[in-house]
Structure formats: structure tokens, C-alpha cells
Structure 1
């Protein structure tokens, strides 16, 4: 079962990343960055800021290409955990998956000894 990927939300999250990424790159670096991220070639520099050029490149990207762009962002760029999680959540929503009810997850968690995998020294197991 797969839900529809929220293309508008995915585009917005990528734009948030690009808003920060332009600060780390010069105008001359933007074509290479766009190539690395699977985005179309940015418009020429004349009269455009770096963010405007990256935003135009993202707007020129078809909806079907956003998944590849998001994957490239996740693979090649350091992201804060919260940003990474948001991007992954939207990206994975469109992929086939099986919903596992909370009760089943809790029952499985009780059956497994997770102490070697979790680093909570003050917690007592099982919860």
C-alpha cells in the first residue's frame, strides 16, 4: 500500500535546502551543484541572485524528477537530523509500504532484547 507523495511539500523542502545551500557556493559553482542534484541548468547570472537561480532551476524541474533530486540531496549534502527526517518522510510516503499497527510494534519491542541497540543508560527494560 502506498500513499501519494506530497509533491508540493517535497518541492518546498528542497527549496528550503537550496535557500541555505546558495550561501556555500559561488555563482560559478551553481551549474555543477545543479548537475550533482539532478536539477536543470540554472539561468544565467545576469541580474539574478544565487538563490533566484537555484529557485528557477527547481521550478524548471518536473514533478517526476523531484524524487531523484531529493535522493541526491540526502546522499550528497550534510543535513541536520530534523531536515533529513522531514525530507525522508515526504519522500518515503510515495513508496510502497506495509502499515504496522502500534500494538504490533509494541508487542515486538517487548519480545526483543534491545539493550545492545539503544543507548539509554538510565532506562530500565522492558518499558
Structure 2
């Protein structure tokens, strides 16, 4: 596992949690993420940074998993974090035949009754928007969300 990359990815997320509460709430916040208790002095950012810097590399995966559940980041950061976490996991290969059979069965099932809830599910699983600048500039939207809406 690339601990340096994981640390670089998590650091802005953890220090960004300084706005999640007051100075007195920081120890509780750190405890629920598996971080050491922050020092009593300094700004909230300094305290969160010091707490995160004190985490051993071997404890970073546990912190990352808790962060993904309790304070989920955007889809891109979530996917990058999960890729690092899963890089050491051995998983059995899934033959194409099985994937096709599952897809065929899912096509005959009604997967959702409320399109907004289905869109929320897709948002949690994939990065739907590729380039927001195209919409601002009046161009055709790109990305998975645009493809879904075209269908």
C-alpha cells in the first residue's frame, strides 16, 4: 500500500474537518476517526494537522475507512482513496460470463421506483460529472450523467 499517497490524499480532508465543530469538539472528532487526541493549544487547523501527523502509517487505512463512512469526500477523492485501500486486497477474478449473467438478470428487474433515489445511488458509486466547465461555457455536457440523461 502506498502510505505516502494515502497520507497526501487524506491530509486535506482531515484538516478540513476543523470546521466541523468547536475547539472542544475536536478531541471527540479525532477519537471517532482513530486519530490521537489533538494538543490543547493552537488553532483548530494546527491541532488537526498535528493529530493527523502523529498517526502511524500502518494506522492510516483504518483512519481512511472511518473517514469515508463518517465524512464522505467527493466521488473522485473517494475513488482514489478506495483504490489505495484495495490495492493490497486479493480478490477472486470474476469471469465475464458471470458478469453478463448478472447484468442480464438485472435488466429484467425493476431496480428503482424513484429516479432521484436511483440518481443518488449512482452518485455514490461513480463519478457522474466529467467537466462542469463545458456547461458553464455553453457547450454540450460530458460525462456519465450526460450519457444517462441522453438515454
Same fold (TM over 0.5): yes
Taking a change above 3 Å as real, the CA distance of residues 121 and 7 of structure 1, as seen in their structure-2 partners, is: same
Structure 1 gap ranges (5+): none
Q: Which moved more, 1:61-70 or 1:74-83?
A: 74-83
Name the CA distance, whole Å, in 2 between partners of 1:11 and 1:75: 17
Aligned alpha-carbon RMSD (Å): 2.5
Partner of 2:13: 17
Q: What's the CA shift for 1:85?
A: 0.9
Determine which structure has greater relative contact order: mean sequence separation of CA pairs < 8 Å that are 6+ residues apart, divided by chain length.
Answer: 1
Alignment of 1:30-69 (within 5 A): 30-45=26-41, 48-69=42-63
What do the CA deviations read for 1:64-110 (whole angstroms, capped 9, x no partner)?
Answer: 1111101111121132211211111111112223467xxx65x6655
Structure 2 gap ranges (5+): 112-117, 119-147
Give the structure-2-normalised TM-score.
0.63
Partner of 2:70: 76
Greater share of helix: 2
